[in-house]
């Protein structure tokens, strides 16, 4: 009985203990359930995102760069098909072996291999390594032939920047290259960058990056734990960059570049009403296509060490004394301020009796002298003596106001080119501020013939000429087609203004700032006087560019030569009177020429500068003459095209 009682007691204990355990089990299971609730219901979104992050990987696909076209929609910068070799890193077992095999196939040198290894280190294990972004067709077909032996190798047909007019446009369009850390700081590049994407390095390519770069695409793949792509989930297509339409006429540009062949210098041509830059050539030049895939050391050294400095865009970054091409503006200033009667006669007596001021002698370029000169003749024959005297009477400050108003001394194309120079139009204030010296009258005198402190770019001279030629109206020079300008309206407005107010006088002579397409002159007759004198300079006997003239009124143009000294001319030089060829290249004069055409109903202005070319009349004017003919021949085409007849494209 005792046993039995004990047994009952033991059974009770066991059962009681079991129930205590069961209660604990229920509690613990409740704990698990609440944890499940937390994970799967409360925090579901968080884990859903984490799971997607796990399984979905994005690859950015590079966009095609926007194309750049000329006035006639001809492609100046296009996207060409290229053959590339990519390596999919996560498909490669032994990177060294693969690289060795590739090296034998496409002949990589030690330097390139080192670069590849460095590149690889920066990539993630599932990334793609671009071994070569520009294979020849032979290399490409070789790779394809041995593809089965090359782990992870992927021959790719891709596009890259191509400049069909290579050398002819590099100074305008610029070139592209790999993005530098500094490039990546720019917001438009930072936002749209994909590894391997080329970005603009200079010129339009650089300044219009926002337009050209486009938007990258996104390919979303589902990947497994080891990063292998399983399936494509999503593909947001990349968007090609916008087209940039230039005002350049590639035919004229090409011709201008051809005229400059084997010379150092610049040719600019501009529509005098619309301000469209038709051509802007700089010589010597180089091939932008070489930069697309990284220029090799040899080519780079060749460009860099060329004494004629091809890297400098001479049209906007080359600074020259304008020389005699400045004279029409000096004459205009003197007339506008009423300093001088155009009929005033001054005698040029040649080198034996130079112009003298406080004991300093100023010579005319013509040894034997011009004799008695009036203003028109002085411009026509470019008599220095007359301009010395006129500048003295005018004073440098008044001259600088007019010079600045007509476009000298300030940037012409805005922020399109980061290397564009402002040039310099000196005045007394400037000298005191910059050099902390007072102005000397002698400096005024040589300023009158465009020498001394004054510095201009070829494009500024072209603009100056254009704004005189259009009757004294301020225009807005530009190289990218401006959709907001109604060109036809602008031209009509200016022409109407010209004919309706022939004697209009303006009372803001001292005001430099004039609105676009507004008059800048004080007296219409002054402008006409200068234009007529320039006509004489080209089309009348004894005119400095008489030999380059056209008699056909269709092509007939008016211009002004210039020969700008690069050093002081000594008495010895005058005695020797050497020919250009006999002087050391670096010491030769720059040859300049500015012109507008046609003389009747003018439309285009042009400036030509040949560095160390000698005299403007012998070297620069003939080039201008040839180009003017080409421009006028193409004018009708341009006009038709720009007025909406785009069928010519």
Partner 1 sequence: MLRERIQASNYSFLDKLRSIDYLLILLIIAIGSISVFAIYSTEGGKFSFYTKNHIIRLSVFFSLFFVLSFVRVSTWYKNAYLFYIVGLILLITVLFFGISASGATRWINLYFLNLQPSELMKIAVIICFARYYHRIQSSDIQSYKFLIQPIFLLIIPCYLVIQQPDLGTSILIAGSGIAIIWLAGLNIKYFVYSGLLLLVSLPFAISILKPYQKSRILTFFNPDRDPLGAGYQIIQSKIAIGSGGFFGKGYLKGTQSYLEFLPEKHTDFIFTLFSEEFGFLGSIILLFLYVLLIYRIINVGLVSRSFFAKLYCFGFATAIFLYVFVNIAMVLGMLPIVGAPLPIMSYGGSSLLSIMLGLSIVMSCKIYNQEQISVY
Compute the distance between CA of residue 191 and CA of residue 216 in angstroms, rounded to an integer: 9
Q: Is residue 33 involved in binding partner 1 (CB under 8 A)?
A: yes
CA 171 to chain centre: 6
| CA distance linking residue 445 with residue 453, whole number of Å | 11
Q: What b/e readout covers 231-242, taking b as 16+ CB neighbours within 10 angstroms? A: eeeeeeebebbe
**Binding of partner 1 by 39 (CB under 8 A):** yes
Q: Among 1, 157, 225, 649, which residue interacts with partner 1 (rule: CB under 8 A)?
A: 225
Among 1, 4, 32, 515, binds partner 1 (CB under 8 A): 32
When asked if residue 23 is in the footprint of partner 1 (CB under 8 A), the reply is no
Residue that is written with structure tokens 């003389």 in the block: 599
Residue 29 interacting with partner 1 (CB under 8 A) = yes
Q: Give the interface segment with partner 1, choosing from 4-12, 103-111, 281-289, 618-626 (CB under 8 A).
A: 4-12
Kindly state the smallest distance separating residue 151's Cβ from partner 1, in Å.
22
234 binds partner 1 (CB under 8 A): no
Nearer to partner 1, 4 or 81 (CB): 4
Among 1, 4, 40, 588, indicate the residue that binds partner 1 (CB under 8 A).
40
Check residue 26 and report its DSSP letter: H
Counted residue by residue, the chain has a size of 649
Distance CA 624, CA 559 (A): 9
Of 456, 467, 596, nearest in space to 538 by CA: 596
Instruction: Output the smallest distance, CB 7 to partner 1, in A.
Output: 8
Report the distance separating Cα 633 and Cα 627, nearest Å.
10
Q: Which is nearer to partner 1, 49 or 566 (CB)?
A: 49
Told to check if 36 binds partner 1 by CB under 8 A, we report: yes
Please, what is the minimum distance in Å from the beta carbon of residue 227 to partner 1? 10
Pairing of strands 56-61, 355-357: unpaired
Asked if 22 touches partner 1 (CB under 8 A), the answer is yes
In the three-class reduction of DSSP (H, G, I as helix; E, B as strand; rest coil), residue 461 is classed as helix
Which residues are within 8 A (CB) of 113 and not within 5 positions of it... i.e. 6 or more apart? 99, 103
Residue 563 in contact with residue 451, Cβ under 8 Å? Answer: no
Q: Which of residues 48-67 bind partner 1 (CB under 8 A)?
A: 48, 50-52, 54-55
CB of 29 to partner 1, least distance (A): 6
Q: Which stretch binds partner 1 (CB under 8 A): 107-115, 217-225, 251-259, 468-476?
A: 217-225
Rounded least distance, CB 124 to partner 1, Å: 14
C-beta of 34: minimal distance to partner 1 in Å? 10
With CB under 8 A as the contact rule, the residue among 1, 4, 25, 386 that binds partner 1 is 25
> Is 537 exposed, middle or buried, given 0-12, 13-18 or 19+ CB atoms closer than 10 A?
buried
- Choosing from 23, 230, 360, 496, the residue that interacts with partner 1 (CB under 8 A) is 230
Residue 270 bridge partners (DSSP): 277, 605
Q: What does the DSSP 8-state code read for residue 524?
A: H
Residues that bind partner 1 (CB under 8 A): 6-7, 9-11, 13-15, 17-18, 21-22, 25, 28-29, 31-33, 35-37, 39-41, 43-44, 46-48, 50-52, 54-55, 222-226, 230
């Amino acid at each position: 009985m005792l046993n039995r009682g004990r047994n009952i007691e033991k059974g009770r204990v066991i059962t009681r203990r079991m129930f205590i355990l069961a209660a604990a089990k229920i509690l613990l299971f409740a704990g698990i359930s609440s944890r499940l609730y937390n994970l799967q219901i409360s925090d579901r979104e968080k884990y859903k995102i984490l799971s997607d992050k796990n399984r979905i990987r994005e690859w950015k696909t590079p966009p095609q760069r926007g194309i750049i076209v000329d006035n006639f929609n001809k492609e100046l910068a296009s996207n060409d098909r290229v053959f590339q070799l990519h390596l999919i890193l996560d498909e490669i077992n032994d990177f060294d072996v693969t690289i060795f095999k590739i090296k034998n196939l496409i002949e990589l040198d030690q330097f390139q291999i080192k670069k590849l290894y460095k590149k690889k280190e920066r990539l993630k294990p599932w990334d793609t390594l671009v071994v070569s972004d520009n294979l020849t067709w032979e290399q490409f077909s070789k790779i394809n032939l041995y593809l089965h032996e090359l782990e992870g190798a992927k021959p790719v047909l891709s596009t890259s920047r191509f400049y069909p007019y290579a050398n002819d446009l590099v100074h305008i369009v610029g070139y592209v290259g790999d993005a530098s850390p500094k490039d990546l700081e720019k917001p438009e590049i930072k936002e749209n960058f994909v590894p391997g994407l080329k970005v603009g390095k200079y010129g339009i390519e650089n300044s219009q990056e926002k337009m050209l770069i486009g938007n990258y695409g996104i390919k979303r793949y589902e990947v497994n734990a080891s990063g292998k792509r399983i399936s494509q989930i999503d593909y947001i297509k990349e968007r090609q960059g916008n087209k940039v339409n230039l005002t350049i006429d590639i035919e004229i540009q090409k011709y201008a570049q051809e005229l400059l062949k084997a010379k150092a210098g610049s040719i600019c041509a501009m529509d005098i009403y619309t301000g469209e830059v038709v051509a802007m050539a700089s010589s010597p030049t180089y091939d932008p296509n070489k930069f697309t895939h990284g220029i090799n050391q040899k080519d780079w050294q060749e460009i860099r060490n060329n004494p004629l400095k091809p890297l400098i865009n001479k049209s906007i970054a080359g600074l020259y004394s304008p020389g005699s091409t400045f004279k029409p503006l000096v004459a205009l200033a003197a007339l506008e301020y009423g300093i001088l009667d155009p009929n005033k006669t001054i005698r040029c007596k040649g080198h034996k009796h130079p112009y003298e001021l406080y004991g300093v002698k100023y010579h005319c370029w013509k040894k034997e002298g011009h004799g008695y000169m009036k203003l028109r003749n002085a411009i026509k024959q470019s008599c220095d003596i007359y301009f010395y005297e006129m500048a003295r009477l005018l004073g440098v400050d008044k001259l600088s106001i007019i010079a600045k108003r007509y476009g000298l001394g300030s940037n012409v194309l805005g922020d399109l080119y980061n290397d564009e120079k402002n040039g310099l139009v000196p005045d007394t204030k400037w000298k005191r501020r910059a050099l902390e010296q007072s102005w000397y009258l002698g400096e005024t005198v040589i300023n009158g013939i465009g020498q001394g402190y004054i510095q201009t770019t070829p494009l500024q001279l072209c603009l100056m000429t254009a704004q005189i030629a259009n009757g004294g109206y301020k225009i807005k020079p530009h190289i990218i087609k401006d959709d907001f300008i109604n060109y036809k309206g602008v031209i009509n407005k200016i022409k109407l203004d010209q004919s309706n107010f022939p004697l209009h006088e303006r009372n803001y002579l001292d005001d430099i700032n004039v609105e676009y397409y507004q008059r800048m002159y004080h007296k219409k007759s002054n402008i006409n006087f200068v234009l007529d004198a320039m006509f004489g300079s080209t089309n009348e006997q004894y005119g400095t560019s008489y030999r380059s003239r056209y008699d056909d009124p269709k092509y007939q143009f008016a211009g002004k030569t210039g020969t700008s000294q690069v050093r002081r001319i000594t008495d010895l030089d005058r005695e020797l009177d050497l020919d250009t060829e006999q002087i050391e290249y670096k010491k030769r004069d720059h040859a300049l020429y500015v012109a507008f055409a046609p003389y009747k109903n003018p439309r285009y202005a042009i400036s030509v500068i040949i560095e160390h070319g000698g005299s403007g009349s012998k070297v620069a004017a003939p080039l201008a003459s040839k180009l003017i003919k080409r421009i006028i021949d193409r004018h009708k085409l341009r006009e038709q095209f720009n007025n909406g007849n785009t069928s010519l494209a």
